[in-house]
Structure 1
Amino acid sequence: MTDFATRSRAATDALRDVFPPTPLLKNAYLSERYGADIWLKREDLSPVRSYKLRGAFNAMRKVRVADPGQMHFVCASAGNHAQGVAFVCAHFGVRGQIFMPVTTPEQKILKTRTFGGDAVEIVLEGDFFDETLAAAKAHCAEAGAHFLSPFDDSDVIEGQASVAVEMMEQLGRAPDHLVLPVGGGGLSAGMLSYLREVDAPTRATLVEPAGGASLTAALRIGAPQTIEITDTFVDGAAVARIGDRTFEVLRNIPPGDVLIAPENRICVTIQEMLNLEGIVLEPAGALSVNVLDDIADRIAGKTVVCVTSGGNFDFERLPEVKERAQNWQGLKKYFILRLPQRPGALRDFLDLLGPEDNITRFEYLKKNSRNFGSVLIGIETERAGSFDDLGDRVASRGFGFRDITDDNILADFLI
Structure 2
Amino acid sequence: MKQQDVDKAEEAIRELFPETPLQYNDHLSARYDAAIWLKREDLSPVRSYKIRGAFNFFRKALADGAKDKVFVCASAGNHAQGFAYVCRHFGVTGIVFMPVTTPQQKIDKTRIFGAGFVTIKLVGDFFDQCYQAARDHVEAIGGVMVPPFDHADIIEGQATVGAEILRQLPAGTKPDLVVLPVGGGGLAAGVTGYLNGHVDDQGFLFTEPSGAPSLRRSLEAGHQVTLSKVDNFVDGAAVARIGDLNFHALRHFRPEQVMLIPENAICVTITEMLNVEGVVLEPAGALALTALATINKDHIRGKTVVAVVSGGNFDFERLPDVKERAMRYAGLKKYFILRLPQRPGALRDFLSLLGPDDDISRFEYLKKTARNFGSVLIGIETTAPENFASLIENFENAALGFEDITENEILANLII
Matches within 5 A, 1:126-145: 126-145=124-143
* Alignment-derived partner of residue 51 in structure 2: 53
* Alignment-derived partner of residue 215 in structure 2: 215
Change (3 A) 1:140 1:375: same
Contact map agreement 2:67 2:92 (CA 8 A) in 1: no
Distance in 1, Cα, partners of 2:277 & 2:78: 23
Residue deviations 1:208-234, cap 9 Å, x none? 111111101101111111113442211
* Alignment-derived partner of residue 279 in structure 2: 279
Q: Which amino acid aligns with 1:267?
A: C
Distance in 1, Cα, partners of 2:44 & 2:240: 26
SS at 1:134 equivalent: helix
Pick from 90, 95, 98 the counterpart of residue 96 of structure 2: 98
Distance in 2, Cα, partners of 1:288 & 1:103: 28
* Alignment-derived partner of residue 151 in structure 2: 153
SS at 2:115 equivalent: helix
* Alignment-derived partner of residue 179 in structure 2: 179
SS at 1:387 equivalent: helix
* Alignment-derived partner of residue 66 in structure 1: 64
Q: Which amino acid aligns with 2:82?
A: G
* Alignment-derived partner of residue 400 in structure 1: 401
Q: Which amino acid aligns with 2:154?
A: V
Matches within 5 A, 1:182-261: 182-196=182-196, 198-201=197-200, 203-261=203-261
Contact map agreement 1:212 1:228 (CA 8 A) in 2: no
TM-score by length of 2: 0.96
Contact map agreement 1:229 1:238 (CA 8 A) in 2: no
Distance in 2, Cα, partners of 1:376 & 1:325: 20
SS at 1:366 equivalent: coil
SS at 2:366 equivalent: strand
* Alignment-derived partner of residue 391 in structure 2: 390
Distance in 1, Cα, partners of 2:392 & 2:300: 40
SS at 2:211 equivalent: helix
Pick from 116, 119, 134 the counterpart of residue 114 of structure 2: 116
Uncovered stretches (5+) of structure 2, i.e. residues with no partner: none
Contact map agreement 2:94 2:119 (CA 8 A) in 1: yes
TM-score by length of 1: 0.97
Distance in 1, Cα, partners of 2:162 & 2:371: 68
* Alignment-derived partner of residue 371 in structure 1: 372
Shift of 1:201: 4.2
Change (3 A) 1:395 1:86: same
Distance in 2, Cα, partners of 1:362 & 1:195: 54
Residue deviations 1:329-355, cap 9 Å, x none? 111011111111111111111111111
* Alignment-derived partner of residue 412 in structure 1: 413
Q: Which amino acid aligns with 2:217?
A: A
Distance in 1, Cα, partners of 2:207 & 2:158: 17
Shift of 1:414: 1.2
User: What is the CA RMSD across the aligned residues, in angstroms?
Assistant: 1.3
* Alignment-derived partner of residue 7 in structure 1: 5
Contact map agreement 1:229 1:239 (CA 8 A) in 2: no
SS at 2:113 equivalent: helix
Bigger Cα displacement from structure 2, 352-361 vs 399-408: 399-408
Contact map agreement 1:174 1:201 (CA 8 A) in 2: no
Q: Which amino acid aligns with 1:163?
A: V
SS at 2:289 equivalent: helix
Change (3 A) 1:223 1:201: closer
Shift of 1:295: 4.3
* Alignment-derived partner of residue 334 in structure 2: 333
Q: Which amino acid aligns with 1:34?
A: Y
Shift of 1:403: 1.2
Distance in 1, Cα, partners of 2:250 & 2:333: 39
Q: Which amino acid aligns with 1:180?
A: L
* Alignment-derived partner of residue 356 in structure 1: 357
Contact map agreement 2:54 2:157 (CA 8 A) in 1: yes
Uncovered stretches (5+) of structure 1, i.e. residues with no partner: none
Pair 1:320-2:318 in alignment: no
Contact map agreement 1:48 1:80 (CA 8 A) in 2: yes
Q: Which amino acid aligns with 2:159?
A: A
